[in-house]
A and B are shown apart, each in its own frame.
Chain A
Amino acid sequence: MTWRIVRKDCAQLWPLLTIVTVAQLANAAMWLALGPFREPRGLVTVASLFSGATMLGMAALVVAVVQQDVLPGVSQDWLVRPIRRSDLLRAKLTFMVLLVQGPALLADLAHGLAAGFAFRDVLIAGLSRSTLMVLVFDLPVFAIAAMTSTLVQVAASMLAMWVVVVAGVFVGILARAGAPPVFAGSGLQWMTPAFWSVLASVAAAVIIPLQYFRRATRRSRQLAVGAVLVAPMLSSSTWDSAFSVQRRLSANSATALPIAIEFDRSLGKDVAEPPSVSVNRVSLPLRVSGLPPESLVVNDRAEARIVDHEGTTLFRGRTTTTLGYGDDFVVRTAEGGDVRLHQRIALPGDVYARVRGRSVRLEIDYALTLFRLDAPMAIAAINGDQRSSALGRCQTKLDADGDEIELGCVSSGAAPTCVSITLEHPTTGQRNPPTGACDPDYSPYPAHFYPDALSQFGFAVPFRDRQRLAQYPVGGSQLGESTLIVKSYRPVAHFTRRLAVADIRLDE
Chain B
Amino acid sequence: MVVHADRLTKRFGRVDALRGLSFDVPESSTFALVGANGAGKTTTIKVLMNILEPTAGTATVLDTNTRALSLRELARIGYVSEHQDMPPRMTVSAYIDYLRPFYPTWDRALETDILSHFRLPPDRRIRDLSHGMRMKMGLVCALSFRPALLVLDEPLSGLDPLIRDEVLDRLRRQAGDMTILISSHELAEIETVTTHVAFLDSGRLLFQEALSDLAARVRFVRVSLQAAPSAPVHPPAEWLDVRVDEYMLSFIDTRFSERDLRAKVAAVVGTVAHIDVEPVDLRTIYTSLARAVRDGKASA
Contacts and interface: CB of A to CB of B under 8 A. Distances in A.
Nearest to A12: B89
A228 to B, nearest CB: 25
A75 interface: yes
Given A11-B94, A74-B51, A75-B83, A81 B89 contact: no
B71 A84 contact: yes
Among A69, A80, A84, the most chain B Cβ lie within 10 Å of the Cβ of A80
B131 interface: no
Contact of A82 (B52, B75, B84): B75
B155 to A, nearest CB: 14
Contacts of B90: 8, 11-12
Contacts of A68: 87
A83 interface: yes
B71 to A, nearest CB: 4
Contact of A12 (B51, B72, B87): B87
Contact of A81 (B52, B94, B99): B99
Nearest to A70: B85
A414 B71 CA distance: 49
Contact of A77 (B71, B87, B89, B103): B87
Contact of B102 (A73, A79, A83): A83
A4 interface: yes
Given A4-B101, A80-B74, A74 B84 contact: no
B103 A82 contact: yes
A437 interface: no
Interface residues of B, number: 24
A77 B77 CA distance: 13
What is the predominant secondary structure among interface residues of chain B facing chain A? mixed
Nearest to A1: B102
Interface in A42-97: 68-70, 73-77, 79-84
A232 B262 CA distance: 83
Nearest to A68: B87
Contacts of A73: 85
Nearest to A74: B51
A80 B51 contact: yes
Contacts of A82: 71-72, 74-75, 102-103
Contact of A79 (B51, B94, B101): B51
Interface in B67-94: 71-72, 74-75, 77, 79, 81, 83-87, 89-90, 94
A12 B91 CA distance: 10
Contacts of B87: 8, 12, 68-69, 77
Which of the four size classes fits the interface of chain A?
10 to 19
Given A74-B46, A74-B51, A74-B52, A81 B102 contact: yes
B74 A75 contact: no
Nearest to A11: B94
Nearest to B103: A82
A75 B181 CA distance: 18
Nearest to B104: A82
Contact of B84 (A4, A12, A69, A75): A75
A79 B49 contact: yes
Contacts of B77: 80
Contacts of B103: 82
A84 B70 CA distance: 8
A84 to B, nearest CB: 6
Contacts of A12: 87, 89-90
Interface in A1-33: 1, 4, 8, 11-12
Interface in A71-130: 73-77, 79-84
Nearest to A69: B87
Interface in B95-120: 98-99, 101-103
Among B52, B72, B85, B90, the most chain A Cβ lie within 10 Å of the Cβ of B85
A81 B52 CA distance: 15
Among A68, A73, A74, the most chain B Cβ lie within 10 Å of the Cβ of A74
Contacts of A11: 90, 94
A221 B171 CA distance: 42
A460 B101 CA distance: 64
A1 B51 CA distance: 21
B148 to A, nearest CB: 13
Given A12-B90, A82-B71, A82-B74, 4 more contacts: A1-B102, A8-B90, A69-B87, A75-B85
22 contacts: A1-B102, A4-B98, A4-B101, A4-B102, A8-B90, A12-B87, A12-B89, A68-B87, A73-B85, A74-B51, A74-B52, A75-B83, A79-B49, A80-B49, A80-B74, A80-B77, A80-B79, A81-B99, A81-B102, A82-B74, A83-B102, A84-B71
A-B residue pairs, 9 tightest by C-beta: A82-B74, A80-B79, A82-B75, A82-B71, A77-B86, A75-B83, A75-B85, A74-B51, A8-B98
